[in-house]
Amino acid sequence: MAQMATTKYIMYLTGQHNVVPDKSLVSDITHVALAFMSPATFNQVEPSSWPLFTTVEIARSKFTDGTAIMVAIGGWGNTAGFDIAAATDTTRKLFAHNVKVMIDATGADGIDIDWEYPGGNGEDYKQIPNSEKAWEIEAYPLLLSEIRSALGPNKLISAAVPGLPRDMLAFTKTMIPAISASLDFFNVMTYDLMNRRDNVTKHHTGIAQSLTAINAYEERGIPTNKMNLGFAFYIKWYRTDPQGGCDINPVGCKTTLMEDPLTGVDLGRAGAFSWHEPVPAEVFASYKRAMAHGKYDSEGGGHYYWDPEENLWWSWDTPDVIAKKFPNIMEKKNLGGAFAWGLGEDANDFTHLKALTSEMKTFGKRYQGAELRTPSAPLSSSHYKDELHALSFRVRALRSPFHPPPKVSRHPNRHLRGTQIQRDRQKRGDFQLYSDPRGSPFNIGDELSAVHPVVRTDPVTGWKSVFAVGTHVQHVNDVTPLKSKALLEWFVKLIVNNHDLQVRHRWQNANDVAVLG
């Protein structure tokens, strides 16, 4: 993976608002994600073009030297291409191969996978129930793994991930290690936290709910410095129930029905627009009142206005709220960076961009090198019962020479089982294994029936290693075949990408060792 030694400051640049201000306003931006390229493009055999609203070369010219230019793939409602790509080993390899071809052709520095969402709850959740998408939960890390294999360690791969726990279907404690192994960072979409599926008013990008999202991912095993906090450069409105009690308490009061309960279709009772767009005529008067009389809710951490004249709830970030998110989330959780949707959405004044940049400068100076600290959550806490989950922290430790390896005291509760060895003897007639037990009394001769712990501890040094490489390692016990495959691929990458040298027994003579560089 590409090493990220500095605080990340990421902007999505969209085709709807392809506006980049003067370089003096974007000089602190570290990454730009061009949104979007359709995932369906990568399911074709030898695609003839890579449709995007601009080119990587043009985008690169608008930012300072060294800014990483990435291509974002997917977006809300554009999930069918991912469904096809993730379905089989063959389709995953085709998709990954085409991503590599696109990167080579465009000169992009990496990709951002914006699948909303693996496992369901996407725009089509009424047409295709989550039960029919459950298989995507295990297929998602496999697709990411294929992409990582195709791109190698030096290109960036990030993922835009849901901000609402109800949508984190694929991001379980079991799957997070395999997902995280392929990604450089996670862009947590801590906006749209109120949407048309809700029935009470909330802040769509408030501090309390944003913190809930970050905590949810941390509890599932993602290091906080691998997460970036999302900021919204747009405003949202929702129509409330005239009898819903909003006049008494506008936060948490009842809304009208905002989507068709059978089809999920938007009923036109909610909306959003960026600071770059003209205010829609039908809500113009209410918007003016919101700008004049907006309030800050200290409990939920959001700026809002409830309009009693038109029964409209407004939710948005002000520069003041942006500033409040830094001590309350960014610094508190030691996050790796921040991103915004999107850069051009804040034109022409770029008020929110300026506010965010100002805070990022201070944060970057104060937390420079924060990625090199030990995990904020101790590995001995109750939610790291399984050492495989604790290994997601170890990945980070191994990838940075400045990271002290975390101390892990719990024994793993998953093991590997072996299988028979025949291949070497078929290739070499003189091949003969050491006749005595090889590391286990159950491993004698050709029969490999031992069950080994995934994580081994050296009895002398106390160092830990991963036992998961070789043709004889077939399956991780107590998980499905698909999960086992994903975990084994992750273990191999953990070793291959991070070990400079490996010494192991060859077991052909009593004292044989193999040194692998």
pLDDT (tens digit per residue) in 210-257: 999 999 999 999 999 999 999 999 999 999 999 999 999 999 999 999
Taking residues 425-430, what's their average pLDDT?
61
Answer yes or no: do 206 and 338 share one domain.
yes
The torsion defined by the Cα of 25, 27, 31 and 34, in degrees rounded to 10, comes to: 50
- pLDDT of residue 381 exceeding 50, the answer is no
3-class SS at 170?
coil
Answer yes or no: do 186 and 105 share one domain.
yes
Give the separation between CA 55 and CA 49, rounded to whole angstroms: 12
pLDDT in tens, 166-212: 999 999 999 999 999 999 999 999 999 999 999 999 999 999 999 99
Query: What pLDDT is attached to residue 406?
Result: 32
Six-digit token pair at 333? 């959780």
- pLDDT of residue 402 exceeding 60, the answer is no
Query: What pLDDT is attached to residue 479?
Result: 73
Answer yes or no: do 368 and 444 share one domain.
no
Answer yes or no: do 129 and 179 share one domain.
yes
3 state SS for 116-144: CCCCCCCCCCCCCCHHHCCCHHHHHHHHH
pTM: 0.74
Answer yes or no: do 425 and 335 share one domain.
no
Answer yes or no: do 97 and 174 share one domain.
yes
Mean pLDDT estimate for the chain: 85
Listed in sequence order, the residues at least 6 apart from 90 whose beta carbon sits closer than 8 Å to its beta carbon are none
Place of tokens 């390896």: 405
pLDDT band at 501 (very low <50, low <70, confident <90, very high): low
Number of domains in the chain: 2
pLDDT band at 486 (very low <50, low <70, confident <90, very high): confident
pLDDT in tens, 434-477: 666 666 666 666 655 667 677 766 555 555 666 666 656 777 77
Is position 386 within any domain? no
Query: What pLDDT is attached to residue 480?
Result: 78
| Of the residues 374, 408, 428, the one at which a domain ends | 374
Answer yes or no: do 317 and 445 share one domain.
no
Q: Is there a contact between 279 and 194 (Cβ–Cβ < 8 Å)?
A: no
Is position 381 within any domain? no
Please give the radius of gyration of the chain, using alpha carbons only, rounded to the nearest integer.
25
Give the separation between CA 23 and CA 295, rounded to whole angstroms: 33
- pLDDT of residue 401 exceeding 70, the answer is no
Query: Which CATH number goes with the domain that contains 48?
Result: 3.20.20.80
- Is the model more confident about 4 or about 328? 328
Is position 472 within any domain? yes
Query: What pLDDT is attached to residue 372?
Result: 32
Give the separation between CA 109 and CA 177, rounded to whole angstroms: 24
Answer yes or no: do 12 and 131 share one domain.
yes
Six-digit token pair at 67? 């800014």
Query: What pLDDT is attached to residue 489?
Result: 77
pLDDT band at 322 (very low <50, low <70, confident <90, very high): very high
| Of the residues 306, 340, 374, the one at which a domain ends | 374
**Candidate from 69-78, 83-92, 391-400, 430-439 with smallest mean pLDDT:** 391-400
- pLDDT of residue 379 exceeding 70, the answer is no
pLDDT in tens, 274-308: 999 999 999 999 999 999 999 999 999 999 999 99
Domain that holds residue 460: 396-516
Give the separation between CA 126 and CA 76, rounded to whole angstroms: 15
Is position 380 within any domain? no
Quote the percentage of the chain above a pLDDT of 90: 69
Answer yes or no: do 179 and 277 share one domain.
yes
Answer yes or no: do 370 and 400 share one domain.
no
Taking residues 269-278, what's their average pLDDT?
98
Give the separation between CA 489 and CA 92, rounded to whole angstroms: 14
Taking residues 479-501, what's their average pLDDT?
71
Residue among 234, 237, 236 nearest 311 (CA): 237
Q: Is there a contact between 322 and 303 (Cβ–Cβ < 8 Å)?
A: no
Answer yes or no: do 363 and 462 share one domain.
no
Is position 41 within any domain? yes
Query: What pLDDT is attached to residue 457?
Result: 63
Is position 317 within any domain? yes
Is position 438 within any domain? yes
Is position 385 within any domain? no
Q: Is there a contact between 349 and 275 (Cβ–Cβ < 8 Å)?
A: yes
- pLDDT of residue 411 exceeding 50, the answer is no
Answer yes or no: do 333 and 426 share one domain.
no
| Of the residues 327, 343, 374, the one at which a domain ends | 374
Q: Which helix (H) or strand (E) holds 66?
A: none
Burial of residue 464 (number of CB atoms within 10 Å: 0-12, 13-18, 19+): middle
- pLDDT of residue 409 exceeding 80, the answer is no
- pLDDT of residue 382 exceeding 80, the answer is no
Query: What pLDDT is attached to residue 510?
Result: 56
